[in-house]
Structure 1
Amino acid sequence: MLFIKRKAIASIVSNLITLANKAENKSLLVTSLSIKSLTLLGFGLVALPLVIALVFGASQVNTLAKKSTDAITDIAKVLDYQQLLKSNQIKMERSAAQYLVLRDPALAASYNEQSRQILNLSRQLIAASQDLKLQHLVTEYAKTITVLIETTMPEAELKTPTDRTIIKPIQVKFNALSTIYEQISQRSNELNTLNITKIEQAAQAVRDIMIQSLIIIPVSVLIAALFIFLIISPLKILTKSILRLQQGHFDHEIKVTGSPEIQEIALALENMRTRLQALELQKSSFIRHISHELKTPLAAIREGTELLYDNSVGVLNAEQQEISHIIKDSVFRLQKHIEDLLDFNIVLDSTSLQDSESMQINDVVYQVIADRKLDIKRKKIHFNNDLSDISLFSNRKQVAVIIDNILSNAIKYSPDEGIIDISSILVGENLQLFISDQGIGIDQANQEKIFDAFYQGPPPEQSLIKGSGLGLTIVKELLLRLNGNIEILNEHAQQGTKIQITLPRAFHQEEQV
């Protein structure tokens, strides 16, 4: 019986595992369900084996309780019948002894009544017991009682009360009856011990089955994990797609298989991606064209202004010289704005992110410094360089734009003959580039605002050029696309400004293969 139940449990577990494997192999079919249906299905499949285990365990416990109750009831009946047999046997023996002496008819009636009760108890004990040996002993006991009934009284009537020879045969018969009773009692005790052993074995079997049923728990956990994977997997894909959109990657098509709700979200994201891609291309195209159209006439205006300012076409009076100087500065400022627009166009152009290459960060920094040579000489800026030999796998043009914007701010806000410190370290696979100046610094309240588009902080003293407010916005956007970061490390504005730029995919130059 126990083997059959174990085999049934094994069959249930095997069927559940097969069901889980089929669900995993046909995940496309399952994931086509709605999230509500998928959740209900998963809950049902997780709860089903637990309910089966609970019902099966309750059935086994109920069976054990019933068997234990029946066994205890049988033991109690047998013990009760035994005690009644012993009690009536003692009374019967006493009545017989008293009758042999006193010859009182009432004692004879009591003797016969007790004999009938013993025979009745014997029949009940035989009916209550299912053990053949015990039934045989009780039958023999009843036969001995019957012999006593048939012989005791007739023999007593043939002899006088003073005849002592009649007592001994009766005592022998009662001794034989007591011997049979002892055998009944011994067999009853053996049966009780056997029943107790069977109950213990049945209880142990139930415990074993319940322990074996615990295998349903990992099966349920496996099914739950499978449905969690089926629900979360498309959500993770959607999250990655949203992060790509956040970083400006509009070239990857968003296509997710899953529940109807997930597919609706994916379709909405795909529509948004195509729209953003079209808008980005329009913006990039517009900025390129407008910048190109502005630079050509601006170059002519600048050259003409330079000729006027240098008195190449004739000497100008003081007022004309002042007006020419104003035009020259305005043209120079307009040219700087156009250059910022071109840099901002690099941010809008997501296709440029694909042009990654290996570069040495020292070369990029030195090139940016060389491009700013005139501004550096004009303000007599000194550089303290502590650059390590670190290579970086990224977009060279965008990294140069990031460093150039940070350095141009450092130069612009540094006092004459100021010092700019540049250093780099490698932390794991991340490059950390530090640029600090001795300028007016950035107030704590403005440290978050400076990255907003067109925000301009207090201008440096004696500044001839006003910024466009796009430089740090360009830096922040490019670092976001390159999975980098920028931080302002100084806490007090009076200490100047210290910037930390973090870029991934960096390594020491000697590690490059």
Structure 2
Amino acid sequence: MWPRPRSLVHLLLASFVLVTLPLLTAVYQADQSMQQLVGQSRHMVTAGIEAARLSQDVKEILVDMERRARQFQVLENPQILALYRGDHERVSHKLTRLHQSTETTEDRATLEQLQSQLNANWTLLQEQPGAEQAARVVTGFHNIHQQARALNMAAANQIDRELSSLQQAVEHSQQQLFVHASLMGPITLLLIVITTFLINRPIGQLDQAIRGLGGGCFKQPIAVDGPRDLAFLGERLEWLRERLNQLEQQKTQFLRHISHELKTPLAGMREGTELLGDRIIGPLTPQQDNVVKILDTNSRYLQKLIENLLDYNHIQTGVELNPEPFEMVELVAEVVAHYRLSATRKNLRFQLPDEEWHLVADRAKVRTALDNLVSNAVNFSPQNGWIRIQIRVASDHQVLDIRDQGPGVPEGERTQIFEPFFQGSTPRQGHLKGSGIGLSIAHECIAAHGARLTLGDNCDGACFRIEWPMAKAAS
């Protein structure tokens, strides 16, 4: 099992070393090949120069020896014989050095034959010094010079062989460098991919965890695999997730509790208001009737807020759909009828669709969405305005538009309009302030069916658009 790096810096350094290692290996191998070629070429030059110099020296000494043999043949002077002896020792020494540097058997045989003949000549002169023996030695120098020329040719051939060997070594080194470069490239690329993955994986896990927390997803545990500092950061995020999850559960429980606690006294208030409004306890004066209407309006609004809180709490815990077939036009008319009284007070006119739209969906969820959208249109519409609800087919979508003549949504708030508890800067008509969760509930109810609730272009007021895929509408 690989040890975990202590920090991201250590991981980066290790990745850098790992990626550069193949390149450093290739550079080292290239350097070794170059040093080997340089050494081989230096040896070739040195050996070639040495062989050529020795061959030339042998040739010159042999000329001197032949001249001394001729002089001794004529003069028979012992001093000339002594000089011949010195030349013989010199040439023997140089032939020995040539023999040591010669590589081929044929060249060595030539050297040995030349040395043998020179030794025989010297032995002849040494044992029987005289003109006759000197003449025989002079005659033998013809063959000796031929062998010397052959020796020069052998030295030249040796240089050619060294050059050929050096050329082969260069070609071999080039092939090795090409093979190493061909291998090092993919290996380096593979190591780059691996190290990039090792670096990006914990960062990606942190990014995913932070996005999940920001999006309100507290169920998925957070675990970060990577350097210890990033793993520790993942542990702190896991602690934060657990804490947020606890707070979310407490909030959900609180909303459920407070909503149900408010509904009980509200039911008594609504019942008392209805009794007063129905004149069960007796006739009312105009002032009393006005107070009853105010109580009825505010109690209905409070009931709407409580229902929104319950719907929001239910959506946060997970939307469960109970699909059933129904007619969208009938559902729209049902929702609009609920707001007839509020619309009459503001002298609003509704333009309802007459197109048929048979839908299979959770009727209660769709009604909740329409209820919040129509409520929003009524609250923001001016006196004597109109609210138009249209149904049409666009490409592979069924579209429902709810338009009003209100002030619309400012450009800077269009991306936030469906966020929970967001209240825009545009004031709504009336003295009651909204809760900011109606549009969020509508958005979640529509999205749970695989459809979309969007905000259309602001032409003359606001336009909320439901885009329902045909496949979803028929399923």
TM-score by length of 2: 0.73
The letter of the residue matching 1:73 is T
Answer whether contact 1:432 1:500 (CA < 8 A) is retained. Answer: no
Q: 1:389 to 1:233 in 2, by over 3 A?
A: farther
> Which amino acid in 2 is paired with 1:381?
F
What do the CA deviations read for 1:48-69 (whole angstroms, capped 9, x no partner)? 6665555455444433432332
Measure how far apart 1:327 and its partner are.
2.5
Amino acid at match of 1:300: G
1:497 matched residue in structure 2 = 462
Cα distance in structure 2, aligned partners of 1:49 and 1:337: 68
Q: Which residues in structure 2 correspond to 1:118-129 (within 5 Å)?
A: 118-129=91-102
SS at match of 2:401: strand
Give me the identity figure in percent: 24
Q: Which amino acid aligns with 2:471?
A: H
Q: Distance between the aligned counterparts of 2:393 and 2:207, measured in 1? A: 33
C-alpha distance 426-152 of structure 1, shift in aligned 2 (>3 A): farther
Q: Which residue of 2 aligns with 1:80?
A: 53
User: Structure 1 CA distance, aligned partners of 2:205 and 2:398?
Assistant: 31
Where does 1:177-188 land on structure 2 (aligned, <5 Å)? Answer: 177-188=144-155
| Contact 1:405/1:471 (8 A) holds in 2 | yes
The Cα shift of 1:284 comes to 1.9
SS of corresponding position for 1:435:
strand
Matches within 5 A, 1:435-454: 435=401, 437-439=403-405, 440-448=407-415, 450=417, 453-454=421-422
Change (3 A) 1:302 1:85: same
Please tell me the residue identity of whatever aligns with 1:244.
G
Q: 2:349 aligns with which of 380, 394, 399?
A: 380
- Pick aligned residue for 1:332 from 295, 300, 310: 300
**Pair 1:91–1:397, CA change in 2 (3 A):** farther
- AA of the residue aligned to 2:388: I
Distance change in 2, residues 1:50/1:60 (3 Å): same
Q: Is the 8 A contact 1:390 1:507 kept in 2?
A: no
Question: In structure 2, what residue type is equivalent to 1:177?
Answer: I
* Residues 124 and 266 (structure 1), Cα distance of their counterparts in 2 relative to 1, 3 Å cut: closer
Amino acid of the residue matched to residue 338 of structure 2? L
Q: Distance in 2 between matches of 1:147 and 1:242?
A: 101
Deviation at 1:421, TM superposition (A): 3.7
Q: 8 Å contact 2:65–2:87 — kept in the other structure? A: yes
Residues 267-320 of structure 1, C-alpha deviations (whole Å, 9 max, x = no match): 333332332222222222222222222223323323433443454543333333
Distance 1:142 1:480, change over 3 A: farther
- Once the two structures are overlaid, the 10-residue window that deviates more, 222-231 or 283-292, is 222-231
Candidates 223, 244, 251, aligned match of 1:283: 251
Alignment correspondent of 2:143 = 176
Letter of the structure 2 residue corresponding to residue 74 of structure 1: A
1:211-264 deviation per Cα after TM superposition (whole angstroms, max 9, x unaligned) = 554546655655665565455445544444444333333333445566544543
Segments of 5+ residues of structure 2 without an aligned counterpart are: none
**2:141 aligned with 1:141, yes or no?**
no
Return closer, same or farther for 1:470/1:134 CA change in 2, 3 Å cut-off: same
Match of 1:508, SS state, is helix
Q: Distance in 1 between matches of 2:70 and 2:359?
A: 121
**Could you give the per-residue CA deviations for residues 102-161 of structure 1, whole angstroms, max 9, x where no partner exists?**
9999999998876665444333322333444323323433455566778899999859xx
The change in CA–CA distance for 1:171 and 1:367 in structure 2 (over 3 A counts) is farther
Secondary structure at 2:292 match in 1: helix
Query: Cα–Cα, structure 1 residues 34 and 478, in superposed 2: closer, same or farther, change >3 Å?
Result: farther
**One-letter code aligned to 1:467:** G
What residue number does 2:6 align with?
34
Give the deviation of 1:77 after TM superposition. Answer: 1.2
1:189 shift after superposition:
3.1
- Describe the superposition over 1:76-108 as per-residue Cα deviations: whole angstroms up to 9, x where unpaired: 211222233345555666788899999999999
Distance 1:87-1:158 versus aligned 2 partners, 3 A rule: closer
> Structure 1 residues 40 and 446 mapped into 2: Cα distance closer, same or farther (>3 Å)?
closer
**Local SS of the residue matching 1:441:** coil
Q: Which residue of 2 aligns with 1:508?
A: 471
1:300 and 2:268 correspond: yes
Residue 190 of structure 1 corresponds to 157
CA distance in 1, matches of 2:92, 2:408: 117
Q: Which moved more, 1:117-126 or 1:323-332?
A: 117-126
1: CA distance between counterparts of 2:124 and 2:452?
117
Say yes or no: does 1:252 pair with 2:220: yes
**Aligned residue number for residue 71 of structure 1:** 44
Structure 2 residue 306 is matched with structure 1 residue 343? no
CA shift in 2, pair 1:284/1:179, >3 Å: same
The aligned counterpart of 2:238 is: 270
CA drift of 1:266 comes to: 3.7
Structure 1, unaligned stretches of length 5 or more?
1-28, 160-165
Q: Cα distance 1:413–1:78, how it changes in 2: closer, same or farther (>3 A)? A: same
The answer for the alignment partner of 1:370 in structure 2 is 334
SS at match of 2:266: helix
Helix, strand or coil: the match of 2:306?
Answer: helix
Q: Distance in 2 between matches of 1:460 and 1:471?
A: 14
CA contact (8 A) 2:328 2:356 kept: no
Which stretch of structure 1 is more off in the superposition, 204-213 or 269-278?
A: 204-213
Whole-angstrom CA distance in 1 between matches of 2:328 and 2:77:
136
TM-score by length of 1: 0.69
Corresponding letter in the other structure for 1:125: L
> Partners of 1:357 and 1:224 in 2: how far apart?
51
Please give the alpha-carbon distance, in whole angstroms, between the structure 1 residues aligned to 2:387 and 2:229.
Answer: 60
- Which deviates more, 46-55 or 244-253? 46-55
The more displaced of 302-311 and 481-490 is: 481-490
Match of 1:314 among 267, 270, 282: 282
> Using the alignment, how far apart are the partners of 1:483 and 1:340 within structure 2?
22
Distance 2:46 2:321 in 1: 87
2:165 aligned partner, one-letter code: K
**Pair 324,370 (structure 1): closer, same or farther in 2 beyond 3 Å:** closer
